[in-house]
């Protein structure tokens, strides 16, 4: 009996040794700093898919002019586009599909597929913002700054806006895409201005020009000059009538990512509404885009024009006395109506 017990006692640890302990998961600790939200392969995939969708939608949008029901065809094109674009980008593109009826594919802004810079967000929350600087397009147009936004975990990164970069501007240094750039909340960040302040103040500058108290806070740009030119042209044309302009930031955005030095790249947009009221006169509209959107070239009573403008800023880090650099903008007439 004693012997058997001894035998069992000797065997038990042997048997125990035979069964290796099951491995246990050893997860890494949750990182203190959020990793880049997108690996480069994911960025590539997103951009590839974006361009695939753009190509499809653009082809449909341009072809819509010849369709039996151009309106429905255009709507279908916009629906297609909706998979990868929303907000001002979708609006502007939709208007361009309309313009394509008269001017063809030239009406569409070329969005080059090559990316020379990727600013990847480092975050675990939503919405997430991805910024991409494209290569210069084939027709030597300026490179575009694309802003893609993922609103929530289950939606895709959608193109929110593109801006043509002005000649001579330099994009502020950002951290490598593998590391990721911190997202800047609309009302926060370490730059001299929060993104919301930036867009609000710039709208003020656009609306009031040199009279704006923020005029010196931004670099002068071709955008301001163009808006000023338009303004003077319309006010001259309206003669005895009235001419009003209102500008208001868009409801979505602004989006911002931190730069390496603590500043921010802010992308925002605003809508402009130009209202002309004629007094006992007719006005012949020369601008092809306006006439196309309007559907006629002569107005007798009034004219309402809706603009969508998207702007990219480089806001210097807190403590800097430099003005906010306007990196680029896209300015498009998206709707026109009048009698």
Partner 1 sequence: MLSRVLASLLCLLGAAAIALGVASATVWRSSDTLAATASASGYLVTDPGVLDLAADEVTVTASATGPVTIALGRTADVEAWVGEDEATRVTGLATLTELTTEAGQGVSATSSPTATDAPSESATDTASATESPEPTDSATESADPSATESADASATESGDDAASGEDGEAAFADPSGSDLWLTEATGDGRATMTWERTDGRWSVLVAAASGDDVALTLTWPQEVTTPWLRPGVAGGSVLLVLGIAWWALILVRSRRAVAGVGAAGWFGHARDVLGSGRPSRAPSPTEGTTSVATAAESAAVPPVAFSAGRRAALSAVSASDTSVAPGATAGGLEQPPAAAGEPGPAEATGPRPSTAAQPTEILHVSADGAPMTRRQLRELREREERERAELAAADRHGRRPRPEPEPEPAATPGAPQGTGPAADTAGPQPGAVEWPRVGTVRMPERTASSPETTARVWPATAFGRAAGSDQAAPDQAVPDRAVPDRAVSDRAVPARAVPARAVPETPVPEAVTGRDTSDQAELDREAARTGLRRALDRAMRRKPATPPVAWSPLEASGETPEVPELPEPPAASSPSADAWRRAWGLPGTAPGANHDQGEEKR
Binding site for partner 1 (CB under 8 A): 22-28, 30-31, 35, 37-39, 41-42, 45-46, 75, 78, 82, 86-87, 90-91, 94-95, 98, 124-127, 150-157, 248, 251-252, 271, 273, 275, 293, 304-306, 334-337
By the 8 A CB rule, do 336 and 305 touch?
yes
- Cβ at position 294, least distance to partner 1 in Å: 10
47 vs 315 by CB, closer to partner 1? 47
DSSP structural state of residue 113: S
Cβ-contact 144, 162 below 8 angstroms? yes
Residue with smaller CB distance to partner 1, 107 or 315: 107
CB of 58 to partner 1, least distance (A): 16
45 vs 284, beta carbon nearer partner 1: 45
**Burial per residue of 68-106, b for 16 or more beta-carbon CB atoms within 10 angstroms, e otherwise:** eeeeebbebbbebbeebbbbbbbbbbbbbbbbbbeeeee
Q: Give the gyration radius of the chain's Cα atoms.
A: 27
Nearest by Cα to 147 from 99, 179, 115 = 115
The CA distance from 304 to 307, in Å, is 10
Which CB, 138 or 152, lies closer to partner 1? 152
Angle at alpha carbon of residue 124, lines to 120 and 127, rounded to 5°: 70
The nearest distance, CB 112 to partner 1, in angstroms, is 21
Strands 255-258 and 264-277: antiparallel
Minimum distance, C-beta of residue 198 to partner 1, in the bound complex (Å): 19
CB of 16 or CB of 31, closer to partner 1: 31
**What does the alpha-carbon distance between residue 223 and residue 172 come to, in Å, rounded to a whole number?**
20
Judged by beta carbon, residue 176 or residue 318, the one nearer partner 1 is 176
Task: For the CB of residue 167, give the shortest distance to partner 1 in the complex, in Å.
Answer: 30
Smallest separation, CB 2 to partner 1 (Å): 31
Residue 305, SS3? strand
The residue among 157 and 218 lying less far from partner 1, judged by its C-beta, is 157
Residue 67's Cβ-count burial label (10 Å; 0-12, 13-18, 19+) is: middle
CB of 286 to partner 1, least distance (A): 20
């Amino acid at each position: 009996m004693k012997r058997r017990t001894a035998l069992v006692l000797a065997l038990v640890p042997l048997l125990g040794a035979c069964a290796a302990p099951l491995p246990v998961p050893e997860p890494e600790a949750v990182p203190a700093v959020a990793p880049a939200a997108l690996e480069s392969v994911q960025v590539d995939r997103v951009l590839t898919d974006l361009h695939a969708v753009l190509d499809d939608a653009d082809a449909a949008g341009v072809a819509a002019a010849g369709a039996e029901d151009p309106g429905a065809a255009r709507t279908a094109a916009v629906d297609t586009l909706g998979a990868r674009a929303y907000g001002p980008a979708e609006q502007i593109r939709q208007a361009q599909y309309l313009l394509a009826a008269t001017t063809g594919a030239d009406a569409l802004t070329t969005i080059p597929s090559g990316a020379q810079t990727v600013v990847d967000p480092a975050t675990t929350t939503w919405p997430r913002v991805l910024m991409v600087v494209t290569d210069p397009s084939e027709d030597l147009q300026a490179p575009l700054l694309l802003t893609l936004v993922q609103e929530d975990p289950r939606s895709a990164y959608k193109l929110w806006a593109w801006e043509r970069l002005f000649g001579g501007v330099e994009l502020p240094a950002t951290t490598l895409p593998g590391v990721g750039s911190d997202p800047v909340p609309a009302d926060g960040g370490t730059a001299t201005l929060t993104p919301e302040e930036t867009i609000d103040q710039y709208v003020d500058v656009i609306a009031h020009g040199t009279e704006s108290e923020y005029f010196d806070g931004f670099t002068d740009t071709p955008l301001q000059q163009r808006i000023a030119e338009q303004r003077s042209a319309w006010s001259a044309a309206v003669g005895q009538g009235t001419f009003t302009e209102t500008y208001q930031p868009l409801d979505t955005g602004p989006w911002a990512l931190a730069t390496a030095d603590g500043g921010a790249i802010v992308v925002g947009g605003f809508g402009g509404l130009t209202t002309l009221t004629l007094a006992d006169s007719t006005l012949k509209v020369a601008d092809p885009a306006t006439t196309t959107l309007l559907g006629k070239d002569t107005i007798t009573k009034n004219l309402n024009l809706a603009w969508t403008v998207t702007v990219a800023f480089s806001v210097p880090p807190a403590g800097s006395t430099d003005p906010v650099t306007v990196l680029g903008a896209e300015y498009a007439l998206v709707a026109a109506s009048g009698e």
